[in-house]
Chain A
Amino acid sequence: MATEFHNLQELRHSASLVTKVFIQRDYSEGTVCRFQTKFPSELDNRIERTLLEETVKTLNSYYAEAEKIGGQSYLEGCLACATAYIIFLCMETRYEKVLRKISGYIQEQNEKIYAPRGLLITDPIERGMRVLEISLFEDRGSGGSSPSSSMSSGSSAR
């Protein structure tokens, strides 16, 4: 049963937090920031797989762009070293620029896709880039699934 939320404001005021799902980091390619595209079972009846996979893949591509080691990062590194890194006091690094893009993207995704389904994605930077946290909300008025049943069904599915 999909609960209807029309915007984030409504979500915050009328919904109660049921549980949180955490998408872990994918370390198969080293220490670059990547999140697993494995679909968590708790979200089975809340959102379509393809939508979440699309979001995670786009985020992964943003992080890969931020951490790319190539001409631009060398230039930035050498220029900064030559100025004893004082230039970082006035200039924004490429990573910070991409992080702002990511935060805008997550905000947009929340508004368009996740909030109408009673979900909310937290920017990974607020969790130390360790996990992608998805909060599940339930409309206070409706009965909905109880927290214990949703968690036990989640753990038994593992």
Chain B
Amino acid sequence: MSAVMITRKVRKWEKLPGKNTFCCDGRVMMARQKGVFYLTLFLIIGTCSLFFAFECPYLAVHLSPAIPVFAALLFLFVMAMLLRTSFSDPGVLPRALPEEATFIEMEIEAANGNVPAGQRPPPRIRNVQINNQIVKLKYCYTCKIFRPPRASHCSICDNCVDRFDHHCPWVGNCVGKRNYRYFYLFTLSLSLLTIYIFTFDIVHVVMRSVDNGFLNTLKETPGTVLEVLVCFFTLWSVVGLTGFHTYLISLNQTTNEDIKGSWSGKNRVQNPYSHKNIIKNCCEVLCGPTYPSVLDRRGLMQDDSLVSATGAAQSSSSSNSTLQSTHAVLCLQKTTAPLIPNEHTPDDAKPSIAASAEKSPSPKEELPPASKLPPLASPETDAETSIAKDKTH
């Protein structure tokens, strides 16, 4: 049985765990389910096209040519914000590499001391003091890290996201630290666009009805009815959402914290991140520094694949740091964090020489060793891990 080692250079996004889809060779990063995002695109583009086709010629002549121009600018801004929110990295925290995971496990073991056999070990929590408030940092069993404050694990994308707000299906991505301001500007500009189109629809119908009569107007511009319907229903939800997020920004809270009630209630901790000043909070969230992505999706890395003529193909990606020795003496866990196959791992990335038929069992073979956790870990106490484990089996 002969074994051949093939080393290829792949982009790091191809080996990223988590359930994201990547496009344009790693430049675009979205969640897996994109159906609702396409609906959002269709609604916005469709309604605006109807507006430009039916209302704008009349209004440009009878009222002012600035009306379609402003509508076009607003539409472009909305699209830019939507695409920016959907396509950018929300602030995903990369999973711990084996050495870091082991180091943390050992710290936890040392802190817990000796747990009598049969007894459940205490939950993995680290207390930190932020601005004189005690904040609990929870341990993420999937990513094998203690989550930074305000970070949360998104079960849909299977990533820990920094300053996690929520997962928005309309946008097809998580909303986190890096894209929250784009999301807010998207909802704000969409509210303005919806109000704008709704208002000028009414103005157009009124102006035309004065000349031609109401029913004739509707016959001449059937698109108006559709637009009014879409705008009417969109108005309530989008304007409400914008108002809600304006409230959250003024208090420097995330949707996640608001839903969980982290900072509400008298005997609960007060929000340690708020500057207690609305202007300062707004400035920090909207005009703060633009954080870079720590994922490095387009970096190159070595992918070592061992291919044997008769056995199944087994691929293990080596570490991405050029300064790290891949023959690390201390490496208790050989595999990285549980390998949930990325949708975009292309089939031709795995060498398709004789072993192409045996390719499908190989990811499953790698999973059992990865899900073996050290004795003191109790993954079932963490709901996210049980979901992850259900999905891997």
In the docked arrangement, what's the CA distance between A128 and B94, Å?
6
Assess whether B289 is in contact with A158, with CB atoms less than 8 Å apart. no
Tell yes or no: A88 within 8 A of B by CB: yes
Q: When each residue 129-165 of chain B gets 1 if its CB lies under 8 Å from chain A and 0 otherwise, what string results? A: 1110001010000000100111000000000000100
Which chain A residues lie closer than 8 Å to B292 at the CB level? 93, 95-96, 99, 125
Assess whether A133 is in contact with B330, with CB atoms less than 8 Å apart. no
Interface residues of A in 57-92 (CB under 8 A from B): 66-69, 73-74, 76-78, 80-81, 84-86, 88
Give, as a whole number of angstroms, the nearest-CB distance from A109 to chain B.
Answer: 13
Assess whether B324 is in contact with A135, with CB atoms less than 8 Å apart. yes
Given contacts A29-B130, A31-B149, contact A20 B283 (CB under 8 A): no
Interface residues of A in 126-158 (CB under 8 A from B): 126-131, 133, 135, 147, 151, 155, 158
Assess whether A155 is in contact with B110, with CB atoms less than 8 Å apart. yes
Given contacts A95-B291, A96-B292, A127-B100, contact A19 B286 (CB under 8 A): no
Assess whether B100 is in contact with A81, with CB atoms less than 8 Å apart. no
In the docked arrangement, what's the CA distance between A147 and B349, Å?
36
Assess whether A85 is in contact with B100, with CB atoms less than 8 Å apart. no
Cβ-neighbour of B163 out of A12, A31, A151 (below 8 A): A31
Cβ-neighbour of A93 out of B137, B272, B290 (below 8 A): B290
Tell yes or no: A122 within 8 A of B by CB: yes
Which chain A residues lie closer than 8 Å to B111 at the CB level? 158
Assess whether B145 is in contact with A130, with CB atoms less than 8 Å apart. yes
Assess whether A77 is in contact with B148, with CB atoms less than 8 Å apart. no
Assess whether A69 is in contact with B289, with CB atoms less than 8 Å apart. yes
Assess whether A84 is in contact with B330, with CB atoms less than 8 Å apart. no
Interface residues of B in 305-328 (CB under 8 A from A): 320-321, 323-325, 327-328
Cβ-neighbour of B289 out of A27, A67, A127, A129 (below 8 A): A67
Among residues of B, the one whose C-beta sits closest to the C-beta of A24 is: B146
Assess whether A158 is in contact with B110, with CB atoms less than 8 Å apart. yes
Tell yes or no: A43 within 8 A of B by CB: no
Assess whether B321 is in contact with A126, with CB atoms less than 8 Å apart. yes
In the docked arrangement, what's the CA distance between A30 and B148, Å?
10
Assess whether B329 is in contact with A18, with CB atoms less than 8 Å apart. yes
Tell yes or no: A101 within 8 A of B by CB: no
In the docked arrangement, what's the CA distance between A78 and B165, Å?
23
Cβ-neighbour of A84 out of B81, B320, B329 (below 8 A): B81
Among residues of B, the one whose C-beta sits closest to the C-beta of A156 is: B110
Interface residues of A in 4-19 (CB under 8 A from B): 8, 12, 16-19
Which chain B residues lie closer than 8 Å to A85 at the CB level? 80-81, 84, 182
Give, as a whole number of angstroms, the nearest-CB distance from B231 to chain A.
Answer: 22
Give, as a whole number of angstroms, the nearest-CB distance from B205 to chain A.
Answer: 31
Assess whether A127 is in contact with B94, with CB atoms less than 8 Å apart. yes
Seen from chain B, the residues whose Cβ lies within 8 Å of a Cβ on chain A are: 76-77, 80-81, 84, 93-94, 96-97, 99-100, 103-104, 106-107, 109-111, 128-131, 135, 137, 145, 148-150, 163, 182, 185, 272-273, 283-284, 286-292, 294-296, 320-321, 323-325, 327-330
10 more contacts with CB within 8 A, not counting A31-B148, A85-B182, A147-B330, are: A16-B325, A16-B329, A20-B103, A22-B103, A30-B149, A69-B284, A76-B289, A85-B80, A135-B323, A151-B330
